Structure 1
Amino acid sequence: MMGEKAFLGCLMKASYLIQDTVIRPQHLAETRNREIMQQMIEFNISGKGNDFLITMSFKNNLDAFGGMSYLNELQAHADVEKFHEIEKLVLEAWKEREKKNILTLAASHDWEISQVISKLDKINEVRLEDHKSITQALADVYEAPWQEVELSISATTGIKQLDVMTSGFQDGEVTILAARPSMGKTDVMLHFAKAAGWAGYLPLLFSLEMPEKSITSRLIASTGGFNRVKMRNPKLLLSQSQKDRWPSIIGSLNKTTIQIFDGASQTVAEMRAKTRKMIHQFPMKKPIIFIDYLTLIGTSHKDAGNSHMQVTEISKSLKAMAKEFSCPVVCLAQLNRNVESRMNKRPMMSDIRESGSVEQDADLIVFLYREKYYDQSEGNPMLELIVCKNRNGPVGTVMAKYNECTGKIEDLPESNETKVSS
């Protein structure tokens, strides 16, 4: 346990480090090392931590800690300048031990896979690499006024004016796409996924309600402009010209590298594990995660009957996943029936089921609204994308053309596309 000795020795030589380290006594392997660190913490809290050796020398049970000879040995291993590297080694050793313990417990208690994944994920929540000093942060931007601005690499939404308003889907951010049933949520999500895929991203599509065959059918219909009814029997219902275009549509969709996971009640922990696998399989591509939809995500929360607690847990987990993989996460959500009782049926924030935690954790919230859904005689093909929360830009409404028969989304002429709210 040389790493632990060096770690404790550094804490003894530079007592201020006890307040900075993420390592806690339980992360140390040897019992006396855990007890020594706990004693350091207690001394520090009580204001006696400036000279640990002197303070410890007055303890009656000093032999229980290995005596003065062991404390001197710890100091001999100290190298404060390399504290960060030592800290990292201690943490990695703890993670390895925890991993083995979890796998042993899983085997002896016959845990479900999702429980194992959840436990393993929690190990990674203890991190050292989330810190940057203001000095380094300022150094990174010091040359900004004299440098060419690099275009921010973000996943396009595939809708020009929505990209202008939001700058696309940003790494580490969560987007909630919400609407009433049959408003076009899934078609819009598939449009986003195709656009991101063609732009070089790796779209990972977790479809918790719709099976893979239906997703694939919708992708082909919207890309080819085929009426979805014809997809039930392509051989019989497609025209010859549509059949002639079929191979090129398949080839075009294949270039998106969309990955579809259609298991029901997948948990965020399972999605994280599958995302890691895909990242290893496609190391040159940045993932973008799509989930259909929020309240169908499985949860291991003990309050399984409490929908507010479930949504809160899921919402925070989605944000953590976006940050962990530094990728965009786009999650669909259903709106409650309150919309239907109003004269103006355009959605509001309060219409999101269990909206409090979702509103807080999401970086971007987009509502979908179609006038034609409520007035079939209107014949209006317009789809309103109402950006009601945008952490990094304006809110407002973007108009697009939506063909409900094919699921195809198209840009409008620029003069009709956007209404920005101040």
Structure 2
Amino acid sequence: MNDAARKLAPLAKDQADQHYREAPNNLEAEQALLGAILVNNDAFYRVSDFLKPVHLFEPLHRRIFEVAGDIIRMGKTANPVTIKTFLKADEKVGDLTVAQYLARLAAEAVSIINAEDYGRAIYDLALRRSLITIGEDMVNIAYDAPLDMPPQSQIEDAERRLFELAETGRYDGGFQSFSDAVTLAIDMAATAKDRDGHLSGISTGIHSLDGKMGGLQRSDLIILAGRPGMGKTSLATNIAYNIAAAYEPEVQPDGSFKARNGGVVGFYSLEMSSEQLATRIISEQTEVSSSKIRRGDISEADFEKLVACSMMMQKVPLYIDQTGGISIAQLAARARRLKRQRGLDVLVVDYVQLMTGSKKSGENRVQEITEITTGLKALGKELNVPIIALSQLSRAVESREDKRPQLSDLRESGSIEQDADVVLFVFREEYYVKNMEPRDEFDPKYEEWKMQMEKVKGTADVIIAKQRHGPTGTVKLAFQSEFTRFSDLADSSFTQYEH
């Protein structure tokens, strides 16, 4: 054998070994777990919260685990006799029939005490197999370099799949059984029963709004729209801070945290800097005018109030990203990262028209907005969080006699209306009445204007123009413009529920 052949021999052996590498699995652990379940059904409940049939490697073991789970959930006993009728009688495992194999699993079962350890081992191996699949796909796609998947798209796709794997233990999405969906619905009702205010969603901190919406529902896209000067950013900031300030974490069995009340908020501020946003929130909390804070026109007592407030606010889980012109793909990637690192319960985007889509839709702004709203809706579902997206309204509002916004006023695309689960309009009549002030105070119309101004001063309407799972209607709120603060109206807080 010459030198070249000698050098190539071990390489060829390595490649042969690699070629026959088997996906990580542990059939003995699967057999031990199934045996423990067949002997004592309590073993199933030790693993059912994290282990699903798809996590088992052997197809027959998946079927046994699935059938056993269905029988146990129905309150019946799962054992070799009751399970075998649901499996193919003619299927063989080596020389054994399925019935004999089930009897063998039960006969060789070890203690139920080890069931959870076996379950964890099986689950970890399933994750490793999924990681291998994602890794192989990444390598193959990178080698093929398909035209429809540039490197940036591949990174986003890999990041999404890894995120789903980290969150749920599987990344394929796929169908979910109706029984799982029913369980989730009952869990949601139980959570609402225990939560402050008995809301199925996350409380906005404004009771009259919660009364109409039931809080912010997970995976919903909530469009908050209004003309400039109406206070849509103020309302979004108020809600974001209320949710973050009410945050009460609850430790889960796996060591992670879940919000019992309030939540962790991610705020994409494409228009204002984080410092401007913080000034608004400090002003709202301390009742010191934001213009005075900016000018430094504050007393020693006010300054002490600001310092005390800022120290309290530093503990609040509100995270601000002030990147201007962010694309939907970048926004999704950062939101996933925030959820993995800090947790995430609500996402706010201020505002949709300042975001960019992909280069493909760059020529057509309507297509671009469609891509953005569709992307936001998909992101809300993926992260299982409500997304509040602010939007501008067209100037058509200004040319009408009645300045109250309508769904048709949503700017640049009908997709905003279609993709949204909830559409809220902020409308402050005070803004328009103020601009109609007669120049001469001796004008006969001046008294009439003054009366009208008194009627609308310090109030704002939040119009619920669309809501998939609740009524439409108008909620009247109090608005203090100097502190940019929305709150419940003292006298009408009880009438908002009747619609």
The alignment's TM-score, normalised by the length of structure 1, stands at: 0.71
- Equivalent positions of 1:190-339 (< 5 A) are 190-200=237-247, 201-234=263-296, 237-282=297-342, 285-339=343-397
Task: Kindly provide the amino acid, as one letter, of the partner of residue 374 in structure 2.
Answer: K
Cα distance, 1:198 vs structure 2: 1.1
SS at match of 2:414: helix
Cα distance, 1:167 vs structure 2: 1.1
Given that residues 394 and 421 in structure 1 are in contact (C-alpha distance below 8 angstroms), is that contact kept between their aligned partners in structure 2?
Answer: no
Structure 1 pair 300–415 and aligned structure 2 pair: CA distance change class (3 A): same
- Is 1:96 aligned to 2:135, yes or no? yes
Task: Kindly provide the amino acid, as one letter, of the partner of residue 270 in structure 1.
Answer: Q
Cα distance, 1:91 vs structure 2: 5.5
Given that residues 344 and 385 in structure 2 are in contact (C-alpha distance below 8 angstroms), is that contact kept between their aligned partners in structure 1?
Answer: yes
Structure 1 pair 116–262 and aligned structure 2 pair: CA distance change class (3 A): farther
Q: Note the alpha carbon deviations across 1:139-174, whole angstroms, 9 max, x for none.
A: 677999999944456322121110111111111111
Query: Whose relative contact order is higher, 1 or 2, with alpha carbons under 8 Å and at least 6 apart?
Result: 1
Q: Using the alignment, how far apart are the partners of 1:141 and 1:261 within structure 2? A: 33
Q: Using the alignment, how far apart are the partners of 1:100 and 1:253 within structure 2? A: 45
2:472 paired residue number? 395
Of residues 115-124 and 223-232 in structure 1, the stretch that sits farther from structure 2 once superposed is: 115-124
- Aligned residue pairs total 345
Given that residues 349 and 355 in structure 1 are in contact (C-alpha distance below 8 angstroms), is that contact kept between their aligned partners in structure 2?
Answer: no
Structure 1 pair 252–89 and aligned structure 2 pair: CA distance change class (3 A): closer
Task: Kindly provide the amino acid, as one letter, of the partner of residue 395 in structure 2.
Answer: R
Structure 1 pair 375–128 and aligned structure 2 pair: CA distance change class (3 A): same
SS at match of 1:332: strand
Q: Note the alpha carbon deviations across 1:360-384, whole angstroms, 9 max, x for none.
A: 1111110000011111142511111
Structure 1 pair 95–260 and aligned structure 2 pair: CA distance change class (3 A): same
Cα distance, 1:2 vs structure 2: 4.5
What is the root-mean-square deviation in Å for CA atoms of aligned residues?
3.9
1:28 paired residue number? none
Cα distance, 1:290 vs structure 2: 0.6
2:177 paired residue number? 133
1:188 paired residue number? 235
Q: Note the alpha carbon deviations across 1:279-319, whole angstroms, 9 max, x for none.
A: 2332xx44311100001112114020211111111111101
Structure 1 pair 202–416 and aligned structure 2 pair: CA distance change class (3 A): closer
2:430 paired residue number? 372
Cα distance, 1:118 vs structure 2: 3.1
Given that residues 221 and 376 in structure 2 are in contact (C-alpha distance below 8 angstroms), is that contact kept between their aligned partners in structure 1?
Answer: yes
Structure 1 pair 102–180 and aligned structure 2 pair: CA distance change class (3 A): farther
Unaligned runs of 5+ in 2: 1-20, 25-53, 64-122, 165-169, 248-262, 438-452
Task: Kindly provide the amino acid, as one letter, of the partner of residue 157 in structure 1.
Answer: T
2:204 paired residue number? 157
The alignment's TM-score, normalised by the length of structure 2, stands at: 0.61
2:97 paired residue number? none
Given that residues 395 and 421 in structure 1 are in contact (C-alpha distance below 8 angstroms), is that contact kept between their aligned partners in structure 2?
Answer: no
Given that residues 208 and 264 in structure 1 are in contact (C-alpha distance below 8 angstroms), is that contact kept between their aligned partners in structure 2?
Answer: yes
Task: Kindly provide the amino acid, as one letter, of the partner of residue 259 in structure 1.
Answer: Y
Residue number among 98, 118, 122 corresponding to 2:156 in the alignment: 118
Structure 1 pair 105–134 and aligned structure 2 pair: CA distance change class (3 A): closer
Given that residues 315 and 361 in structure 1 are in contact (C-alpha distance below 8 angstroms), is that contact kept between their aligned partners in structure 2?
Answer: yes
Residue number among 377, 398, 402 corresponding to 1:344 in the alignment: 402
Q: Using the alignment, how far apart are the partners of 1:314 and 1:367 within structure 2? A: 20
Task: Kindly provide the amino acid, as one letter, of the partner of residue 213 in structure 1.
Answer: E
1:43 paired residue number? none
Structure 1 pair 418–102 and aligned structure 2 pair: CA distance change class (3 A): farther
SS at match of 1:312: helix
SS at match of 1:271: helix
Of residues 131-140 and 311-320 in structure 1, the stretch that sits farther from structure 2 once superposed is: 131-140
Cα distance, 1:244 vs structure 2: 2.3
Task: Kindly provide the amino acid, as one letter, of the partner of residue 233 in structure 2.
Answer: T
Q: Using the alignment, how far apart are the partners of 1:398 and 1:146 within structure 2? A: 27
SS at match of 1:302: helix
Q: Using the alignment, how far apart are the partners of 1:246 and 1:269 within structure 2? A: 37
- Is 1:404 aligned to 2:404, yes or no? no
Given that residues 102 and 120 in structure 1 are in contact (C-alpha distance below 8 angstroms), is that contact kept between their aligned partners in structure 2?
Answer: no
- Equivalent positions of 1:72-83 (< 5 A) are none
Unaligned runs of 5+ in 1: 15-84
Given that residues 189 and 200 in structure 2 are in contact (C-alpha distance below 8 angstroms), is that contact kept between their aligned partners in structure 1?
Answer: no
Of residues 357-366 and 331-340 in structure 1, the stretch that sits farther from structure 2 once superposed is: 357-366
Task: Kindly provide the amino acid, as one letter, of the partner of residue 308 in structure 1.
Answer: V
SS at match of 2:492: helix
Larger Rg: 2
